[in-house]
Chains A and B, each alone.
Chain A
């Protein structure tokens, strides 16, 4: 298995890349939603993200990647002296049409029938704990799976109560979704769960397109050389992410900027307070990434489209994208 296309080698799509870096800095931001046409590098970006993420420490063999022995779920078949190992941050694919059993985990039917044991077979949510859950074509996901994800994303815990099992385990993950808006909308409840949203489209500039094709070709002809070439750039991003994580707590937020955030959300009529919180978190992560000591207006105006566009109370029939509205209001409030 060759390694994924390097993150830094993705041409353009700066908004998408920024959004992904921000969630890597602060997982509490709550995920990214990427909407756009086919062939714009949505899935490439997500898959390359895995290589970019700092490694985590987890108990070896633990199905939910527990950070310490004490925190492993009691149903898991992990010996008491299992050592801690470092492993890459899990990026788990949730395929369309996955069954509920596959997502939440269920009774291990084979073991139940063959040996009469009542054992739990962990699902994708367990695998994705402390990592990323990626859903391609998220807008085509069946409603009952969406309900389930919403519930788990909110509580951070997966509870399975069926077939005589009563099992719970932590399921804290960053949700990354991608989709093509022409194929159907996303329910507002799920939309709200994503911290940031980005719209991507094919680059208009022909030179940029040529560059994409060239890099991809170079990657496919000789992956190792290409990966080596971009390794440095990727490493720089990774270091910047780690530095930003450490700096996160020390970044100052002044009253004036907080006020601006609130004014912005009021002016846009964003529902709930989650908009403000995400906006603030996003700004803090951005400030950390760029090595600033405090949040500035410029940070706010850059994060606002990412954090607020999908939160506006939207008439499902509203034609003009909310993006336009956001940038207009941002200009008014911050301008």
Chain B
């Protein structure tokens, strides 16, 4: 990045504003891996007037809420309460926020919504594009700071002079209805649907005004607020010389009698946002919106609550697993003579506690790799789509997740990250155009990547490849039939080593020898699709996949 100093200014400003109004602004998403740079950034956070508490994605309920401290309770013989993180207002620091499971996100969101209870700094350490903070959280956090590619700051962070006095003054900063109107208009023009965004921008503007000792919000504050809050949420960027009335294509033109208060001022807001958008960020922002569902459903099913019972194990009570009372008492029984204390019938020590364990099968994710090249389109792309749809319906019944990757021309594209929403899958699938060359190796590569990531999350991936096997683009983009097939075979080897269950559906008119060979190398089942309706086709697949 060329504007490194600016980015640090941006980060410092966000932190200053957050320190002024941690509750109103919700917090910050800080995207950076663990590094001295991130630490340097965090030390720049001025005193917020709140205690900072760290939490991690696997934090248990007993640490979040007030609960009985079992260890102390058993030792004392009287109930001992342990205070949870949510029991007092605090600034929460969530590490590895991109791995935050849906249930924790929901609990944190609830805490953020409750007035005056918490602010959150989500440390997003995601390395991959699709590793993101759950949208339920990022939606509630005002700022987004990306430290990727920054060098260590050369200057010391500005800090806050007299933070407490400023915070007092913040309550008296006023904003006119026109200010709010302007922010709301700007948000609408930038394609930000959620109404939380303009509110957060308003809070940011107020905090900024307060920072500069103003008693009411000025144009400059609005610009800063819009830039800091709306920029990373934008999904549409109005063109610079466009008429304000006809900006977002799907937005009806404002029909109120007095059009936006001062169109010129509003444009300056949009411009302020535009400055904040480095090249290439907007598509990312857009795809983030589209893929927002990617992190959707809960993570790996914990085998602590249901499934086939296994033998209990000694362990600490963490609020998630269940105590096996019988096993606990059995463990305590031999010691009763030794432990006998007057006045207590039975003495159980924390070390006696046994937890129940269950075994469940991990969830499956079906990754569809669809060849949309010209040759395949000519063969039976539509029938293949029909078959996939049929499989999707089956996946719905068995609560599998589905992902969709299409490949054509020079590249493979993830059309849908692993997800439970079949509606999305179907929409993306039917929107998949056909035509172009066949980059089979690319397709296999991104399929393998996704499978690998799914395995890391504790899911069981199954790859379903639909192609006619006429690979003609090598991994380096060269249109060379032989090298293309060679690359594809390499990827197949990789998949076999990774032990990914796979299925190859041959959509060509006649079964293709090279494809059979490829399937063998992948350790996959090869099925030549019968020339039939998509229903007949899917029946053939079903017996193979669902077996």
Interface residues of A (CB under 8 A from B): 1-2, 37-41, 43, 93, 95-97, 99-101, 106-107, 109-110, 112-116, 136-137, 140, 142-144, 163-164, 180-185, 202, 204-207, 209-210, 212-214, 216-217, 220-221, 223, 315-317, 319
> Can you sample 29 A-B contacts with CB below 8 Å?
A2-B115, A2-B116, A38-B196, A39-B139, A39-B197, A96-B103, A96-B106, A96-B298, A97-B106, A99-B322, A107-B325, A109-B325, A113-B73, A114-B74, A137-B106, A137-B136, A142-B301, A144-B306, A183-B293, A183-B297, A183-B421, A184-B296, A210-B185, A212-B195, A213-B202, A214-B177, A214-B180, A217-B199, A317-B423
Spot the interface stretch: B234-242, B276-284, B391-399, B501-509: B391-399
**Which residues between 270 and 317 of chain B lie within 8 Å of chain A, taking CB atoms?**
292-293, 296-298, 301, 305-306, 317
Chain B: minimal CB distance from A191 (Å): 13
Contact (Cβ within 8 A) A41 B202? no
Instruction: Enumerate chain A residues within 8 angstroms of B333, measured Cβ to Cβ.
Output: none
Shortest CB-to-CB span from A228 to chain B, Å, is 17
B348: Cβ under 8 A from any A Cβ: yes
- B423 and A319 contacting across the interface, CB-CB below 8 Å: yes
Across the interface, do B79 and A110 meet the contact criterion of CB distance under 8 Å?
Answer: yes
In the complex, are the beta carbons of A38 and B139 less than 8 A apart?
A: yes
Interface residues of B (CB under 8 A from A): 24, 61, 68, 70, 73-74, 77-79, 101-104, 106-107, 109-110, 113-116, 135-136, 139, 171, 175, 177, 180-181, 183-185, 187-188, 193-199, 202, 251-252, 254-256, 260, 292-293, 296-298, 301, 305-306, 317, 319-320, 322-323, 325, 328, 345-346, 348, 389, 392-393, 396, 399, 419-424, 426-427
Across-interface contacts of B116 in A (CB, < 8 A): 2
Give Cα A53–Cα B184 distance, bound, in whole angstroms.
Answer: 32
Chain A proximity of B114: nearest CB distance (Å): 8
Among residues of B, the one whose C-beta sits closest to the C-beta of A142 is B298
Q: Is the CB of A207 within 8 A of B256?
A: yes
Question: Which single residue of chain B is at the shortest CB-CB distance from A182?
Answer: B293
In the complex with contacts A206-B188, A216-B199, A140-B102 CB distance below 8 A: yes
Knowing A163-B325, A217-B175, the reply to whether A182 touches B421 (Cβ < 8 A) is yes
Q: Is the CB of B420 within 8 A of A116?
A: no
Contact partner of A317 among B101, B183, B256, B389, CB < 8 A? B389
Min CB distance, A277 to chain B, in Å? 28
How far does the Cβ of B349 sit from chain A's closest Cβ, in whole Å?
A: 10
Q: Say whether B68 contacts A110, CB under 8 Å.
A: yes
Known: A37-B194, A39-B193. A184 touches B420 (CB 8 A): yes
Q: Which of B70, B135, B252, B426 contacts A319 (CB 8 A)?
A: B426
- Known contacts: A97-B101, A140-B102, A184-B297. The answer to whether A113 contacts B196 by CB under 8 A is no
Per a CB cutoff under 8 Å, which of A2, A41, A106 touches B195?
Answer: A41
A110: chain B residues at CB < 8 Å are 68, 70, 73, 79
Which chain B residues lie closer than 8 Å to A207 at the CB level? 254, 256
Residue from A116, A205, A221 in contact with B171 in the complex, judged by beta carbons closer than 8 Å: A221
Residue of A with least CB distance to B78: A114
In the docked arrangement, what's the CA distance between A99 and B185, Å?
43
In the assembled complex, the CB of B355 is this many whole angstroms from the nearest CB of chain A, namely 11
Q: Which 7 A-B pairs have the closest CB atoms?
A: A97-B103, A39-B194, A184-B420, A183-B296, A96-B106, A96-B103, A39-B196
| Nearest-CB residue, chain B, relative to A107 | B325
Contact A39 B296 (CB under 8 A): no
* Residues A213 and B252 in contact, CB atoms below 8 Å apart: no
Given contacts A106-B322, A210-B180, 4 further A-B contacts (CB under 8 A): A38-B196, A202-B193, A213-B184, A217-B180
Contact partner, B106, options A95, A164, A213, Cβ 8 Å: A95
Minimum CB–CB distance from A188 to chain B (whole Å) comes to: 10
With A2-B116, A38-B135, A41-B195 given, is the CB distance from A210 to B305 under 8 Å? no
**Nearest CB of A to B345, in Å:** 5
Q: How far is the CB of A233 from chain B (nearest CB, A)?
A: 20
Q: Which residues of A contact B328 (CB under 8 A)?
A: 113
The CA of A223 and the CA of B73, in the complex, are separated in Å by 41
Establish whether residues A206 and B70, one from each chain, have CB atoms under 8 Å apart when the complex forms. Answer: no
- In the complex, which residues of chain A have a beta carbon less than 8 angstroms from the beta carbon of B298? 96-97, 140, 142
Which residues of A sit under 8 angstroms from B297, Cβ to Cβ? 140, 183-184
- CB–CB A182/B252 < 8 A: no
Contact A140 B422 (CB under 8 A): no
Partner of B77, one of A93, A114, A212: A114
What is the minimal beta-carbon distance from A98 to any residue of chain B, in angstroms? Answer: 8
Contacts of A210 in B (CB 8 A): 177, 180-181, 184-185
Q: Closest approach, in angstroms, between the C-beta of B78 and any C-beta of chain A?
A: 8
Q: Which residues of B contact A220 (CB under 8 A)?
A: 24, 115
Q: Would B396 and A185 count as touching, CB distance under 8 A?
A: yes
Residue of B nearest to A140 (CB): B102
Which residues from chain A contact B348 at a C-beta distance below 8 Å? 113
Q: Are B422 and A137 in contact (CB under 8 A)?
A: no
- Shortest beta-carbon distance, A226 to chain B, in Å? 12
- Inter-subunit contact A182/B325 (CB<8 Å): no
Residue of A nearest to B185 (CB): A206
Among residues of B, the one whose C-beta sits closest to the C-beta of A316 is: B396
Q: List B contacts of A1 (CB < 8 A).
A: 114-115
- Measured CA separation A109–B101 after assembly (Å): 27
Q: With contacts A38-B135, A183-B296 known, is A217 near B322, CB below 8 A?
A: no
The docked-state distance in angstroms from the alpha carbon of A207 to that of B253 is 11
Chain A residue with minimal CB distance to B76? A114
How many angstroms from the CA of A113 to the CA of B345 in the assembled complex? 10
* Residues of chain A contacted by B114 (CB below 8 angstroms): 1
Name the B residues within 8 Å of A143 (CB-CB).
399
A135 to chain B, nearest CB (A): 10
Interfacial chain B residues near A40, Cβ < 8 Å: 194-195
A206: which of B74, B136, B184 is its contact (CB, 8 Å)?
A: B184
A residues near B109, Cβ cutoff 8 Å: 136
Chain B nearest CB from A219 CB (Å) reads: 9
Contacts of B113 in A (CB 8 A): 43
Contacts of B177 in A (CB 8 A): 210, 214
Residues of B within 8 A of A221 (CB): 171
Report the bound CA distance from A106 to B292 in whole Å.
Answer: 37
**Which residues of chain B are within 8 angstroms of A206 by Cβ–Cβ distance?**
184-185, 188, 251, 254, 256, 260
- Whether the Cβ atoms of A316 and B70 lie closer than 8 Å is no
A163 to B107 Cα, complex, angstroms: 28
